[in-house]
Amino acid sequence: MALAVVIVLLVIATVIFHFASPWWFTPLASNWGTVDNTVNITFWVTGTVFILVNFFLAYVVIKYRYRKDNQALYEPENKKLEGWLTGITAVGVAAMLAPGLFVWAKFVDVPDDAAEVEAVGQQWSWSFRYPGKDGVFGRVDPSLFSVDNLFGMSPDDPHGQDDILVEGNEVHLPVNKPVKFLLRSKDVLHNFAVAPFRAKMDLVPGMITYLWLTPTQTGSFDILCEELCGMAHFAMRGIVTVEEENEFQTWLAGQPTFAQVAASPKADAVTGQATFAVCAACHGVNGEGNQALNAPKTAGGEGWYLKRQLHSFKHGLRGVNEKDIYGMQMAPFAATLADDAAINNLVAYIEGLPNNPVQQTVTGDIERGRNLYANCGACHGMDGKGLWSQNAPRLAGVNDWYLIRQLQNFKQGVRGGQAGDGHGKQMVLMSVMLPSEQDMNDVVAYINTL
């Protein structure tokens, strides 16, 4: 009757759904195909049980429905039957467990020739470190973390000098070479997960955890954090790019070592002043901004943030989307800065400019904005003054019309949509929480009070 029919239909529908479903594992990009095999074995065993048990259930539901002249069988137990069922179940369980344990043994045992890469997780971004030519990671000392030493590298350890430091949420790997990821967290629990690799592992502050794999496909794959790490957990993303060995070496050579970072020449604000003359035309003589020319205030901005933005404009990470009219104007100006030294000098000069309050043009519901801002404050600081450790610039004292425009740009992916702009991408994700213009006005109106 109805229930039996429904059960049969549900089983059939489930089986059809299973085979018709486009949602299955992503194409495998690592050596862990044995994981997929174990999953498949499990599916076959459990699927068989699912079908058999439920078809039998449907059968008994029809056959043994109540009839007045009928009597149910009085059989308190049937040891033989129960014994057989227990035995068959045990066999089925062993059939699934055995391959699982075999593969796990491989996962636990890292090959000797695996190269090592360190993945550093923090709220809410990724950075990476390679051990460099000496193959040994330098010592990290948490007390040394600062805006100039994001990895907390100890200058006293010679092994650290050649460590290659990679910021910006992106890591590269050579294809077909085994690699062991050493996982370190600066603050809370995180998890390094790349779906096509199949492997994932938590990052635990206070210890180094690991996972290993051999990437087998070239391409770019998303890194997702998969251990709840706070409000922006969903926005903690990275990219792992797998490429041929020679491309990998080229990329690696372009990344700075700790020695290079530590030895960068001191920025010269006087040289920077000369460069600034060009900027002043739009941004104002004192970097105070000019709304009519759509140029935001740059005075009062953090050095590290200004450097990153100039770098982004210069290298096509920002200001390339055709809808980013004003961003596109910045690209040629950034191009006039020949190298990082030029950027550093310019920024050193800007840092010396007076930080005056801005005119407020946006109105909104400040109380509502306060509630919304509680989310932003986790990175940008509850006082809106920014947090270098969270890669979040100050918002207080920034032109409110500029904030609105950037929020809109983030929302549409006009900013933050470029490959390589990991921090921008994070803002695209965060902007999901502001569906309407009113929400943006409210939060910016609140920021104006900070």
Partner 1 sequence: MAYVAIADQEHELHDPHSFVTKYIWSQDHKVIAIQYSVTAIVMGLFGMGLSMLMRLQLAYPDTFSFITPNAYYQHVTMHGMIMVIYLLTALFLGGFGNYLIPLMCGARDMVFPFMNMLSYWMYLLSVFLLMTSYFVPGGPTGAGWTLYPPQSILPGTPGFDWGIIMMLASLAVFIIAFTMGGLNYITTVLQARCRGMTLMRMPLSVWGIFVATIVGLLAFPALFVSAVMVGLDRLVGTSFFMPAILSAGQNLDYQGGSPLLFQHLFWFFGHPEVYIVALPVFGIVSDLLSCHARKNIFGYRMMVWAIVAIAALSFVVWAHHMFVSGMNPYFGFFFATTTLIIAIPTAIKVYNWVLTLWRGNIRYTVPMLFAIGFIFTFTNGGLTGLFLGNVTVDLPLSDTYFVVAHFHMVMGVSPVLVLFGAVYHWFPKITGKMFNENLARWHFWLTLLGTYAVYLPMHYIGILGVPRRYYATLGASFIPDSVQTVNVNITIAALTVAAAQSLFFINVIWSLMKGKPAGSNPWNATTLEWQTPDTPPKHGNWGPKLPEVYRWAYDYSVPGHSQDFIPQNEPPSSHSATASEHGRH
Partner 2 sequence: MQLSTLVIALLTAVLVWTLLIRRLSAKPWIQAGAIDAAHNAGPTTLPAAKIGLWIFLGVITSLFALFFTAYMMRMDPHHAAGVTWVPFDKPAFLWVNTLLLILGSLSMQWARTGESQGRINTLKTGLTASGFCIIGFLVGQIVAWNQVREAEFFALTNPAVGFFYLLTAVHGLHILGGLWVWAGATLRIWRADKVISASLTVELCTVYWHYLLLVWLILFGLLLST
Residues in 177-216 at the binding interface with partner 2, rule: CB under 8 A? 206-207
One residue of 24, 134, 264, 356 binding partner 1 per CB under 8 A: 24
Site for partner 1 in 93-112 (CB under 8 A): 93, 96-97, 99-101, 103-105, 107-108
Query: Based on CB atoms, which residue is closest to partner 2, 178 or 205?
Result: 205
Residue 200, strand partner residues: 193
Q: Which amino acid is at 138?
A: G
Q: Which is nearer to partner 1, 18 or 133 (CB)?
A: 18
Site size toward partner 2, by CB under 8 A: 3
In contact, 152 and 260? CB cutoff 8 Å: no
**Which one of the spans 58-66, 258-266, 290-298, 320-328 is the region binding partner 1 (CB under 8 A)?**
58-66
* Positions 197 through 236 that interact with partner 1 (CB under 8 A): 198-207, 209, 220-222, 224, 226-235
> C-beta of 394: minimal distance to partner 1 in Å?
13
Q: Which of 310, 358, 428, 447 binds partner 1 (CB under 8 A)?
A: 428
CB-CB contact of 349 with 272 (8 Å): yes
Q: Which does 84 bind (CB under 5 to 8 A by kind): partner 1, partner 2, none?
A: none
CA distances from 291 to 298, 358, 363, 380 (A): 12, 11, 16, 23
Q: What is the rounded CA–CA span in Å between residue 225 and residue 416?
A: 19
Q: Which of residues 161-180 bind partner 1 (CB under 8 A)?
A: none
Binding flag, residue 1, partner 1 (CB under 8 A):
yes
- Listing DSSP states for 332-389 in one string gives HHHHTS-SHHHHHHHHHHHHTS--PPPPP-----HHHHHHHHHHHHHHH-TTSS-BGG
Residue from 380, 406, 204 nearest 302 by CA: 380
Nearer to partner 2, 181 or 446 (CB): 181
> Which residue is it, tokens 């489930």?
14
Q: How far is the CB of 181 from partner 1 (least distance, A)?
A: 12
**CA separation for the pair 356, 279 (Å, rounded):** 18
Give, as ranges, the residues between 53 and 92 that touch partner 2 (CB under 8 A). 76
Task: Among 149, 216, 257, 375, indicate the residue that binds partner 1 (CB under 8 A).
Answer: 375
